[in-house]
Chain A
Amino acid sequence: MTPMHDAATILSCRDLVAGHGRNAVLRDVSLQVRAGEFWFLLGTNATGKSTLLLTLLGVLDPLGGVAQYGPGVSADVLGYVPQCCELVLHLPTTPHELVALGLVGQRLTRAQREERVEAALEQVGLHGQLHQSYGSLSGGQRQRVIVARALARRPLLLCVDEPMNHLDLVTERALLELFARRNREDGLAIVYVSHDVAVAAALATHVALLHHGQVEAGPADRLLDAARLERAYGVPPLAASGRTP
């Protein structure tokens, strides 16, 4: 029997069946996420990208197969950015408080917590708005707070679920550059849920293409070709190579 992971594996699954209740959405998913890799989960709407991610992370129970963290990896070294940034607009809260809440489960002193929160908000360009009302921030700023909440954990693996919905181009570009820099310079592994092939072509080291309940997973330069993308998306890619800029 082949081992499911090597020393650098952070997250892996084998023959995974993912879905809701008793309804399987994806079958026979096998992949390994290692340190320094930038994974994109690609597919059209409702193909099960978020379902796969939440099953990999243990929020949804697998309907079959196995999903597990690598050796020495636990929820303590995960960062997670959900789709929606309009979480708490009716509540009194601040970027400082929301980012500090992201440190739940980590044993830190008050000083360490403060340092983490300030450093994370500085990374996303919101250091000046530590104690501003969260509800008064723009949509882009709110999403940057949620990214800071994930980065404050100093994760080995960052999971990002379609974070660019409803964001303007400037914010989108700034966040993508931040993710790419952390991946390149710090070896941060990233699993990024998206339907944007162009962004994947620019950043991905690995992709998982989701279509019709099946997943093809592997290195980006092998899988991002025109035929596979046409099969996954149902339309031919704009660039002949499939690797659009």
Chain B
Amino acid sequence: MKEPRLGVFICHCGGNISDVVDVEKVRQAVEGAPGVKVAQTHMFTCSEAAQQEMIRLIREHDLNGLVIASCSPRLHQETFRQMARRAGLNPYRYVQVNIREQCSWAHPHHPGEATRKAVALVKGGIARALRARSLEPIVIKTRPEAMVIGAGIAGLEAALGLSRMGIKVHLVEKEDRPGGLLRDRGPIFPTDQKGRELVEHLWREIHRDANIRTYFRSHLCGKEGVVGDFRLKICRDGEEKEIRAGAIVVATGARPHTPQPGEWGYGSEGVCTLYEFLLHLAEHPEEKPLFYRGRRVRRLVYVYCVGSREPAGEKARTYCSRYCCTAALYTACLVHSRWPEVTQVHLYRDIRSYGKYEKYYRRALGYGSVFVRYSPQSPPEIHPGGRLRVRVRDLLTAKQEIELEADLVCLVTGLEPVHSPELLEHLKLPVGKEGFFQEVHPKLRPVETMADGVFICGCAQGPRTAEESAASGLAAAAKVGALLLAGEVKREPLVAEVIEERCDGCGECVAACPYGALELSGDRVRVRESLCKGEGACVPVCPQEALQVRGYEHETIKALIDSLAEGLADA
């Protein structure tokens, strides 16, 4: 092995570190240590000027290892890896030591101790850098094919978006028709287009598209392989079929909440959910006067937030479904315009007709809808009978009790997640506390999941309007496009490796790996690198110490521990 030549750089972080940790003392403690050729401090190591200086030093001293003591690797590991690459140094010969979060921020009142700890950590980092190896990312060729699960508005839009980019699409739907929640619907906001027609329009395009194959009455029943090249199984009528795809878009949707019989008067004649009422309106758009299941409707009462925003508790739906206020207001406008003789009363908690949807609230007010605000402590009581009687306390007249009669009470319910254990098992998708699939970050990475190559969109990740579902479907398509059209995926090479001469093929590790990345071949274990996530579950179970994760080799970890201990003893 070449003689080690390390550069050690310690960051002030503009005072974030140096106000507590004596960085000069840390520098002196490591200067001249075996293998250390350069030791410097910088006000901001991440600044372009400091990076240029470090690049110059790496080249000038022909450094073959690098330690930077600064912030968390979460923040700048990638910054400095790229810097190393620019200097012609293999990025995996760079080690980041965190003396901000772990020293100056954690121990602001003990500067002496914080400095001691920083010295020990930097020495540990040096021990790692001395043993670092040059590594190259694992490259996986991608297939320009994707699977979209769910043929609702989000799935249909995603499929079309992918096809337009030249990606072959396998569209899998559990029912025998496309359309999801919009299939049998009349006009929807904000376009006033009929849901049914929108679905038909999209479906015609998909049908014409040679790039998209659709599988009805089918569901996912197996997943193998890696991002860029999955081997997926779908089941249809008990028959299995294998499909290969580079990425998966989950657009499995949600379902409208239906109250239990008796809750909010549900189950009695004249009480329905908004979704049921909308389906009825779609079926009888021109009927005059307005009837609902044989009842003449002169007065229509909406109750908002049914089964939503419940007080915390087990299985409570504490969340707001965000689309239902607007949906109810839009329905009221529809009824006002077709059946102006119908009086409509809205019992609400808070109106959330956000953004431009405010126009439906104003329009409903203008049409003469009456709004009564109730408090969750005294929800409306609905008494069944020939004419329904509704009692509620109106917050806008100092909680006076109001009684009104109604022909139809429409419960405005939200959306709830559809639980699909199979999908969870095969895709290992994280689920949020509300039961919907969870994205990595709602604003910054809104359709990506923790599972590589699996994207989510539409109501599967939370309640939303049709407009928002379509937009997120297209967003998922764009992300899949960016992944697959690049031709290859690069992954961290910090994966498990087998020390051949120690392995006796006992197979203990094969069972320990949650990703199925290990397999026995002959009397040795083999790592399928593209499957391995480098999490190291296999390392401690191996009785022969024959498995290690690159970058965290047995020797490296032992040396790290020794030097941490020494560092503390010295300082």
A-B complex is real: no
